[in-house]
């Protein structure tokens, strides 16, 4: 091409701004510095150039947006304020995506501080999409993995401008360098926050915001009217409930085994097998929610910082140990050795469910990040006890059955209380009140029937029917007792499934404000 | 099957599809879309006229990249431009000529399509006269195509009932320039945004409509004072230092009032006025009707603010007033434009760096059709009725004088009226979509049904094409070549990057081929014309010595310089940044600008008890016009997939609705259902805003047939309407305002409105 435009790569437009330039002059990084975005909300006109330029650069389809533009507005006409936020990844100092990733698929590049994603090792578990308080990582269905903004680091490496920066006609997006220590000690609280954006301290975000002076107090997100349930994560609904049921059953088995030392009936291999089954069924189910199930086992890689890895490993070992217990019962191994293995299994199982609960104790998802999550996860154990109770009833083991049923009823009462408390505190917590109240709205507006079912079924299945079973059992109507108990178990487990479904569906994550038609929620 | 299983298990992460690789021109880009070649061109959407390169891979357009060496956009593009390559491959393209058979459009050959239309045009011409064929064109074609089309319609078909959709858009600016300055032609340059001390944006929402202009404002190192005058706090109002929430359609009163203050305070530039203008005394006398307090009552702007705005014109070295549809789309648009120009003439704020009145154009080549298109004037800004202009034209174009039209035919709305009356029997619509964009849609549909023949020439299956008898399948941007002229008179080169899709042809080829079906026409008008450059060269010769002088322009020079601002000739080989600098006289006979006496009138369809709210229409950045080009580009369409209605919380409360609810809107002419509510303080109480792009919520069912008598431009921006929610189906109750809209000593009935509107008013008064 015989024009003066021969090479754009070195072209610098006469703007005094980074926009429009194909090459960029960024000062060399000194010790303790990293790259970051600067977004000037007073310059942005909400034209969405950056979004389109990003997708064009990265060949992403329209529904995969690494950069999004959101809006908040407020004031009274004509003193009206409309503030845009164009945001991609904030390349945090303590990125939650990286910390939680079970496969260590996030890399914070040491030299530049840019947080990139390693596509090859990603298993598509999407835990990072939960962990990031900004909703940055995006699951790319066509690719079965998560993808995200990488600040066009390959371009930056050779002095080229990132697509969004280059595209902005207002010069509102820039690349800067920042001294990490100064940022954390001095500037972050003043310069990294933006209305409706999560507190920058959660992940120590690096993006610097320039905001208008005198913002009105009554700012609202323009996507406030968009309130959609989150993904129901059905494989996880079954996996978590079933593993918890197993643990409950195993706890009962262990207690029974201990009791047998004092002359109560001996526990047997059928019981051990039956309490093992739910977990053995549920655990592989969880692989179904992965984008790349064939890599499921690599989820155990990041024991040092990911609760997901810890859960995967612990529950894997738990199921393995339960298998061993079954075999030991079957080959009638010495009682003491069975007891010891059972104790070990129980400890591993309890740790596994603890880790499982801790997966959800993340700041980005306020309705999950409450102690009631832990309580409810362990509360589900009552179903497992009920399961063993059913077996005892079928075998006609009165002295085992009645304590077990009683114990399960106590468990059900606790679970009922936890569920109630979980709902009550949604409306009485001040931290993240906005998101929690929206969760409460989802309970009331979208899922009131499921919620009602949850409470009715736990009362009938967890309390009334077991009580009735005890009565029938006392009159030695074993057949009827078994039947009633079976119904109780079905109701109880359905109740837990429904509650877990609500748990996933009603979560309202932290995030940026969205657009009027395109809300912040990715699903 | 195996593939599916593999995909389910997640073996394939499509790494190849999403990898990046290095392009020699643009650096690291998507590998899958890495072009074989980059083609220099210009964006085909709006009038900003951004330079870009089209990436072509395997004969398909895969990328559009802003040209960093182009002064207009310096490497940036708006979201539509960035995704423009997707438009070429849109599923909404018309891929082959179509002919209606049994109420259905079926594939046809070009020859059948031409023959059918030609036969029908000839029959109608012989039975009803040549003027019974009407043509409505566009601002979307290339200048070469406009010249070819205009020449064919006016001299070949012999009808002057020919107008463009530019009449819905820029006509008021054209007529305003003509009556004030003696000729059409925008005055300034984009770089004036960079140099102005004060930038006044009037009825111009550049954030949505011309975002790339923000680049030039951002470059302004003087930290200019930005004044945004708009009844709506649009996105653009956010960049304002002073936002002036003017009452709807009181802009003319405002500019008269500002001129009053300028004179009252002695802020005018007497030397400039004396040397360069006519009509000062008359204007001064006339403006006595617009003292600040009265203007304040009319416009709702307090007196102090009026003085503050007026003072800019004397306190600042350079003031730039830029406007778009808010001013033009008015029943007194032409005079409003002149009132703005008056202010600049009075203060000498014109023809200098950073100073001037500046109309920002809507379409990529609305300017081209103004210069060459044969609708509002003879090519090269020659006036109809000027005998010398006529004979000059005939001589240069080598055509007999007696076939050159002596007067302008019907304007857009008059063509529609003539169809309604049965006077025009056939209509040829080129690259525009009246069935979304024109006013009073329900009536327009009925009017179109009266036609013997409707021919639509378009690249996209528009709403109008759907009811056509014959569709000419046109090539679109990127598939054809020529030039576009942007808002700052910059003639830009658009190159062909890919072959026209399927069985489509460039509009140039369509017209030239079609002309062969009329005896002797092709030989007379287009002798040995093969390429657009043949039209360009003839047009170029027509501009010699005219204001829009193209004689120094060549295609090569346009590529080399990134466009040239006319006039460009031997004296000005690289064009001209701004008109009416001391060395460029005004284009009136005595070379002096006219200070125009312009009267403000209250709206002829003011709010009533039945229709107590005012509807304002406009655009959003993601969509283009009637969406034929943008609706299938997901990344744009997803951001604004349907129309919405902005309503103030006060009105929302009355209607018992909140954001996300759906309501209906009605006016005396129609009703629009199912529009999603956006409760927002961006609109004043009793004012609502709806974007006009959407055929799914066709807001032009409501707008009225009220036109500027001088330009013929519709008054889209204010329509009295009612809102209906589920809970309040009868809508909002009228609250009468204190009367502040009339100046007692001025005529308060506007006389320029169309006949039927007058009748309606009489009816209403009974």
Render pLDDT for B195-237 as a digit per residue (tens, 0 to 9). Answer: 999 999 999 999 999 999 999 999 999 999 999 999 999 999 9
The fraction of chain B above a pLDDT of 70, given in percent, is 96
A77 with B684: Cβ contact below 8 A: yes
Locate the chain A residue with the closest alpha carbon to B245. Answer: A78
Residue A500 CA to residue B538 CA, distance in Å, equals 76
Contacts with A, B 18-57, CB within 8 Å: 18, 20, 24-33, 38, 40
Is residue B242 exposed (0-12), middle (13-18) or buried (19+ Cβ within 10 Å)? Answer: middle
Q: Which of A48, A149, A163 to mutate to test the interface with B (most CBs of B within 10 A)?
A: A48
Q: Which residue has the tokens 């690096």?
A: A206
A201-to-A94, A187, A307, A364 alpha-carbon distances in Å: 9, 11, 21, 12
Do B98-168+365-476+502-531 and B613-765 have matching folds?
Answer: no
B27 with A124: Cβ contact below 8 A: no
The phi, psi pair for A392, rounded to 5°, reads: -60, -40
Q: What is the mean pLDDT of residues B26-31?
A: 95
Residue B284 CA to residue B385 CA, distance in Å, equals 32
Residues of A in contact with B211 (CB under 8 A): 45, 47, 49, 169-170
Residue-averaged pLDDT of chain A: 94
Which CATH architecture is the domain B2-88 placed in? 2-Layer Sandwich (3.30)
Locate the chain B residue with the closest alpha carbon to A70. Answer: B639
Q: Which CATH number fits domain B98-168+365-476+502-531: 1.10.1370.30, 3.30.450.20, 3.40.50.740, 3.40.30.10?
A: 3.40.50.740
B78 with A142: Cβ contact below 8 A: no
pLDDT in tens, A301-334: 999 999 999 999 999 999 999 999 999 999 999 9
CB atoms closer than 10 angstroms to residue B528 = 7
With bands split at pLDDT 50, 70 and 90, how would you rate the model's confidence at A399? confident
Locate the chain A residue with the closest alpha carbon to B10. Answer: A292
pLDDT in tens, A423-481: 999 999 889 999 999 999 999 999 999 999 999 999 999 999 999 999 998 888 888 99
- Take residue B478 and report the two structure tokens written for it: 């990127």
Q: Which of B51, B212, B214 to mutate to test the interface with A (most CBs of A within 10 A)?
A: B214
Nearest-Cα distance to chain B for A206, in Å, is: 25
- Omega before residue B567 within 30° of 0, cis: yes
Nearest-Cα distance to chain B for A277, in Å, is: 24
Kind of pairing between the strands at A106-108 and A115-117:
antiparallel
CATH number of the domain located at residue range(s) B613-765 in this protein: 2.40.40.20
pLDDT value of residue A3: 53
B659 with A225: Cβ contact below 8 A: yes
| Residue B387 scores a pLDDT above 60 | yes
* Residue B636 CA neighbour count, 13 Å, CB half: 27
pLDDT value of residue B737: 58
Nearest-Cα distance to chain A for B659, in Å, is: 6
B678 with A75: Cβ contact below 8 A: no
| Residue B318 scores a pLDDT above 80 | yes
With bands split at pLDDT 50, 70 and 90, how would you rate the model's confidence at B761? very low
pLDDT value of residue B705: 94
Residues of B in contact with A12 (CB under 8 A): 68
pLDDT in tens, B576-610: 999 999 999 999 999 999 999 999 999 877 889 99
Which CATH architecture is the domain B171-360 placed in? 3-Layer(aba) Sandwich (3.40)
Which CATH architecture is the domain A234-505 placed in? Up-down Bundle (1.20)
Q: What is the mean pLDDT of residues A379-399?
A: 92
Q: What is the mean pLDDT of residues B471-476?
A: 98
| Residue A115 scores a pLDDT above 90 | yes
Of B17, B236, B648, the CB nearest to A59: B17
A263-to-A259, A400, B113, B591, B640 alpha-carbon distances in Å: 7, 11, 100, 120, 73
Nearest-Cα distance to chain B for A55, in Å, is: 9
Domain coordinates in residue numbering, chain A:
33-221, 234-505
With bands split at pLDDT 50, 70 and 90, how would you rate the model's confidence at B745? very low
Q: Which residue has the tokens 């100092």?
A: A93
Do A33-221 and A234-505 have matching folds?
Answer: no
Locate the chain B residue with the closest alpha carbon to A146. Answer: B13
Residues of A in contact with B239 (CB under 8 A): 45
Residue A301 CA to residue A144 CA, distance in Å, equals 19
A46 with B235: Cβ contact below 8 A: yes
Q: Establish if B76 touches chain A: CB-CB under 8 angstroms.
A: yes
A170 with B214: Cβ contact below 8 A: yes
pLDDT value of residue B738: 54
With bands split at pLDDT 50, 70 and 90, how would you rate the model's confidence at B7? confident
The fraction of chain B above a pLDDT of 90, given in percent, is 92
Question: In sequence order, what are the beta bridge partners of A8?
Answer: none
Residues of A in contact with B683 (CB under 8 A): 77
B13 with A518: Cβ contact below 8 A: no
Nearest-Cα distance to chain A for B74, in Å, is: 5
pLDDT value of residue B766: 33
With bands split at pLDDT 50, 70 and 90, how would you rate the model's confidence at A521? low
Q: What is the mean pLDDT of residues B665-693?
A: 97
Is residue A316 exposed (0-12), middle (13-18) or buried (19+ Cβ within 10 Å)? Answer: middle
Locate the chain A residue with the closest alpha carbon to B301. Answer: A78
Residue-averaged pLDDT of chain B: 94
Domain coordinates in residue numbering, chain B:
2-88, 98-168+365-476+502-531, 171-360, 613-765
Contacts with A, B 408-447, CB within 8 Å: none
Q: Which residue has the tokens 């029917």?
A: A465
pLDDT value of residue A114: 98
Number of CB pairs, chain A paired with chain B, less than 8 A apart: 236
Rounded to 5°, the CA angle B705-B602-B750 comes to 60
A45 with B27: Cβ contact below 8 A: no
| Residue B530 scores a pLDDT above 90 | yes
- Take residue B513 and report the two structure tokens written for it: 């081929």
* Residue B735 CA neighbour count, 13 Å, CB half: 6
A158-to-A161, A397, B22, B27 alpha-carbon distances in Å: 9, 75, 11, 9
With bands split at pLDDT 50, 70 and 90, how would you rate the model's confidence at A104? very high
With bands split at pLDDT 50, 70 and 90, how would you rate the model's confidence at B764? very low
A47 with B82: Cβ contact below 8 A: no
Return all residues near B209 (Cβ < 8 A) that are at least 6 apart: B46, B324, B360, B362, B618, B619, B621
A26-30, A67-71, B577-581, B660-664: segment of lowest average pLDDT: A26-30
Question: In sequence order, what are the beta bridge partners of B666?
Answer: B671, B722
Q: What is the mean pLDDT of residues B340-369?
A: 96
Residues of B in contact with A168 (CB under 8 A): 76
Residues of A in contact with B79 (CB under 8 A): 47-49, 51-52
| Residue B755 scores a pLDDT above 80 | no
pLDDT value of residue A228: 93
Q: Which residue has the tokens 């259905």?
A: B104
pLDDT in tens, B227-282: 999 999 999 999 999 999 999 999 999 999 999 999 999 999 999 999 999 999 99
Locate the chain B residue with the closest alpha carbon to A159. Answer: B27
Nearest-Cα distance to chain B for A125, in Å, is: 11
> From the centroid of its chain, how far is CA B560?
28
Residue B702 CA to residue B758 CA, distance in Å, equals 18
With bands split at pLDDT 50, 70 and 90, how would you rate the model's confidence at A397? confident
Q: What is the ipTM of this complex?
A: 0.93
pLDDT value of residue B736: 65
pLDDT value of residue A10: 84
- Take residue A359 and report the two structure tokens written for it: 């997966």
B644 with A166: Cβ contact below 8 A: no
Nearest-Cα distance to chain A for B34, in Å, is: 10
Q: Which of A6, A46, A78 to mutate to test the interface with B (most CBs of B within 10 A)?
A: A78
pLDDT value of residue B71: 93
B639 with A518: Cβ contact below 8 A: yes
pLDDT in tens, B146-156: 999 999 999 99
A122 with B243: Cβ contact below 8 A: no
Locate the chain A residue with the closest alpha carbon to B23. Answer: A9
Question: Treating both helix axes as pointing N-terminal to C-terminal, what angle do A465-474 and A381-395 enclose, rounded to 10 degrees?
Answer: 20
Residues of B in contact with A218 (CB under 8 A): none
pLDDT value of residue A5: 61
Q: Establish if B672 touches chain A: CB-CB under 8 angstroms.
A: no
Locate the chain A residue with the closest alpha carbon to B32. Answer: A59
With bands split at pLDDT 50, 70 and 90, how would you rate the model's confidence at B754? very low
pLDDT in tens, B494-505: 999 999 999 999
Q: Is B164 helix (H, G, I), strand (E, B) or coil?
A: strand
Kind of pairing between the strands at B670-679 and B662-667:
antiparallel
Locate the chain B residue with the closest alpha carbon to A123. Answer: B10
Nearest-Cα distance to chain A for B109, in Å, is: 36
Residues of A in contact with B24 (CB under 8 A): 7, 9
| Residue A2 scores a pLDDT above 70 | no
Fold of A33-221: Alpha-Beta Plaits (3.30.70)
pLDDT in tens, B630-646: 999 999 999 999 999 99
Spell out the SS3 assignment of B220-236.
CCCCCEEEEECCCCCHH
Rounded to 5°, the CA angle B725-B726-B729 comes to 65
The phi, psi pair for A402, rounded to 5°, reads: -65, -45
């Amino acid at each position: 091409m015989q024009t003066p435009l021969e090479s754009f790569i070195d072209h610098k437009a006469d703007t005094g701004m980074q926009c429009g330039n194909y090459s960029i002059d960024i000062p060399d990084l000194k010790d303790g510095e990293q790259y970051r975005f600067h977004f000037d909300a007073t310059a942005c006109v909400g034209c969405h150039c950056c979004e389109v330029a990003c997708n064009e650069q990265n060949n992403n389809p329209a529904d995969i947006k690494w950069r999004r533009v959101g809006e908040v507005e407020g004031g009274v006409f004509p003193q009206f304020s409309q503030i845009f936020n164009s945001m991609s990844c904030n390349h945090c100092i303590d990125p939650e995506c990286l910390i939680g990733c079970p496969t260590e698929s996030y890399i914070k590049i040491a030299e530049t501080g840019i947080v990139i994603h390693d596509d090859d090792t990603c298993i598509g578990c999407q835990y990072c999409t939960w962990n990031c308080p900004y909703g940055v990582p995006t699951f790319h269905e066509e690719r079965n993995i998560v993808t995200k903004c990488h600040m066009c680091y390959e371009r930056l490496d050779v002095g080229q401008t990132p697509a969004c920066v280059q595209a902005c006609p207002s010069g509102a997006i820039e690349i800067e360098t920042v001294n990490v220590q100064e940022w954390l000690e001095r500037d972050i609280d003043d310069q990294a926050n933006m209305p409706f954006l999560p507190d920058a301290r959660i992940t120590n975000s690096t993006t610097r915001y320039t905001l208008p002076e005198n913002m009105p107090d009554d700012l609202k997100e323009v996507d406030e009217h968009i309130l959609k349930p989150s993904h129901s994560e059905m494989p996880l609904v079954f996996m978590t409930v079933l593993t918890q049921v197993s643990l409950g059953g195993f706890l009962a088995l262990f207690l029974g085994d201990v009791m047998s030392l004092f002359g109560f009936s001996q526990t047997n291999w059928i019981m051990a097998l039956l309490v093992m089954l739910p977990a053995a069924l549920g655990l592989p189910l969880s692989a179904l929610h992965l984008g790349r199930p064939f890599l499921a086992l690599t989820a155990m890689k990041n024991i040092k910082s990911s609760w997901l890895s810890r859960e995967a490993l612990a529950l894997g070992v738990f199921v393995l140990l339960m298998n061993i217990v079954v075999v030991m019962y079957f080959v009638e191994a010495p009682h003491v050795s069975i007891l010891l293995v059972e104790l070990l299994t129980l400890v591993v199982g309890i740790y596994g469910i603890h880790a499982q609960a801790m997966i959800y104790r993340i700041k980005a998802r306020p309705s999950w990040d409450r102690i009631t999550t832990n309580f409810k996860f362990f509360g589900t154990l009552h179903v497992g006890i009920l399961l063993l109770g059913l077996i005892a009833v079928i075998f006609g083991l009165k002295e085992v059955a009645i304590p077990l049923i009683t114990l399960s009823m106590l468990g059900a009462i606790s679970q009922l209380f936890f569920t109630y408390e979980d709902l009550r505190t949604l409306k009485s917590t001040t931290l993240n009140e906005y998101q929690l109240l929206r969760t409460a709205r989802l309970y009331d507006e979208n899922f009131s029937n499921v919620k009602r079912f949850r409470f009715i079924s736990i009362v009938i299945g967890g309390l009334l029917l077991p009580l009735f079973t005890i009565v029938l059992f006392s009159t030695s109507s074993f057949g009827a007792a078994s039947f009633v108990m079976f119904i109780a178990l079905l109701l109880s487990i359905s109740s837990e499934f429904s509650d877990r479904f609500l748990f996933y569906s009603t979560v309202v994550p932290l995030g940026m404000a969205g657009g009027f038609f395109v809300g912040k929620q990715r699903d | 099957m195996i593939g599916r299983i593999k995909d389910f298990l997640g073996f394939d992460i499509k790494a190849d599809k999403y990898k990046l690789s290095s392009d020699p021109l643009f650096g690291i880009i998507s590998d899958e879309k890495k072009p074989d070649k980059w083609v220099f061109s210009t964006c085909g959407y709006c009038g900003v006229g951004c330079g870009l390169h089209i990436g072509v891979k395997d004969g398909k357009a895969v990328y559009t990249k802003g040209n960093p060496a182009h002064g207009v956009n310096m490497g940036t593009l708006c979201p539509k431009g960035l995704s423009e390559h997707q438009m070429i491959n849109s599923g909404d393209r018309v891929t082959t000529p179509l002919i209606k058979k049994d109420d259905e459009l079926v594939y046809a050959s070009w020859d059948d399509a031409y023959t059918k239309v030609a036969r029908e045009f000839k029959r109608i011409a012989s039975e009803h006269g040549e003027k019974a064929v009407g043509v409505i064109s566009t601002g979307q074609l290339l200048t070469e195509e406009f010249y070819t089309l205009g020449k064919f319609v006016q001299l070949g078909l012999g009808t002057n009932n020919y107008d463009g959709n530019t009449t819905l858009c820029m006509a008021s600016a054209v007529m305003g320039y003509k009556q004030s300055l003696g000729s059409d032609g925008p005055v300034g340059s984009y770089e004036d945004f960079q140099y102005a001390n004060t930038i006044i944006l009037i009825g111009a929402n550049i954030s949505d409509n011309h975002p790339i202009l923000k680049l030039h404002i951002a470059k302004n190192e003087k930290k200019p004072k930005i004044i945004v005058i708009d009844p709506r706090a649009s996105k653009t109002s956010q960049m304002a230092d002073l936002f002036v929430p003017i009452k709807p359609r009181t802009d003319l009163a405002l500019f008269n009032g500002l001129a009053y203050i300028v004179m009252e305070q002695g802020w005018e530039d007497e030397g400039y006025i004396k040397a360069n203008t006519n009509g000062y005394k008359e204007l001064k006398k006339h403006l006595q009707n617009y003292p600040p307090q009265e203007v304040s009552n009319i416009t709702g702007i307090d007196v102090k603010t009026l003085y503050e705005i007026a003072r800019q014109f004397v306190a600042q070295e350079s003031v730039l007033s830029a406007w778009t549809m808010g001013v033009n789309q008015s029943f007194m648009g032409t005079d409003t434009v002149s009132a703005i120009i008056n202010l600049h003439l009075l203060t000498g704020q014109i023809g200098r760096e950073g100073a001037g009145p500046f109309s920002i154009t809507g379409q990529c080549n609305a300017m081209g059709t103004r210069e060459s298109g044969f609708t509002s004037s003879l090519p090269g800004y020659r006036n109809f009725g000027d005998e010398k202009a006529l004979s000059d034209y005939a001589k240069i174009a080598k055509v007999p004088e007696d076939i050159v039209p002596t007067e302008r035919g019907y304007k857009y709305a008059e063509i529609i009226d003539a169809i309604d009356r049965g006077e025009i029997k056939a209509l040829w619509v080129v690259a525009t979509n009246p069935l979304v964009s024109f006013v009073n849609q329900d009536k327009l549909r009925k009017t179109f049904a009266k036609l013997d023949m409707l021919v639509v020439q378009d690249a996209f299956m528009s709403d109008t094409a759907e009811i056509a008898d014959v569709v000419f399948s046109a090539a679109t941007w990127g598939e054809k070549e020529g030039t576009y002229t942007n808002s700052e008179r910059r003639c830009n080169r658009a190159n062909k990057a890919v072959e026209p899709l399927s069985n489509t042809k460039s509009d140039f080829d369509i017209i030239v081929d079609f002309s062969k079906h009329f005896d002797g026409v092709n030989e007379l008008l287009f002798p040995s014309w093969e390429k657009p450059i043949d039209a360009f060269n003839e047009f170029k010769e027509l501009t010699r010595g005219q204001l829009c002088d193209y004689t120094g322009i060549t295609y090569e020079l346009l590529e080399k310089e990134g466009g040239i601002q006319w006039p460009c000739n031997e004296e000005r080989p690289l064009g001209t940044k701004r008109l009416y600098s001391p060395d460029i006289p005004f284009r009136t006979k005595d070379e002096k600008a006219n200070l125009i006496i312009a009267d403000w009138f209250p709206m002829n369809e003011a709010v009533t008890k039945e229709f107590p709210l005012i509807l304002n229409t406009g655009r959003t950045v993601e969509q283009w016009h009637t969406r034929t080009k943008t609706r299938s580009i997901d990344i744009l369409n997803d951001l604004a997939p349907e129309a919405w209605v902005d309503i103030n919380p006060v009105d929302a409360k009355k209607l018992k609705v909140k954001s996300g609810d759906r309501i209906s809107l009605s006016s005396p002419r129609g009703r629009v259902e199912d529009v999603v509510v956006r409760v927002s303080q961006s609109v004043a109480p009793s004012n609502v805003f709806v974007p006009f792009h959407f055929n799914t919520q066709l807001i032009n069912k409501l707008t009225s047939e009220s036109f500027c008598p001088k330009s013929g431009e519709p008054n889209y921006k204010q329509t009295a309407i009612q809102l209906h929610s589920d809970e309040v189906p009868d809508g909002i109750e009228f609250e009468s305002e204190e009367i502040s809209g009339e100046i007692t000593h001025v005529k308060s009935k506007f006389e320029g409105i169309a006949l039927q509107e007058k009748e309606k008013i009489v009816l209403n008064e009974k």
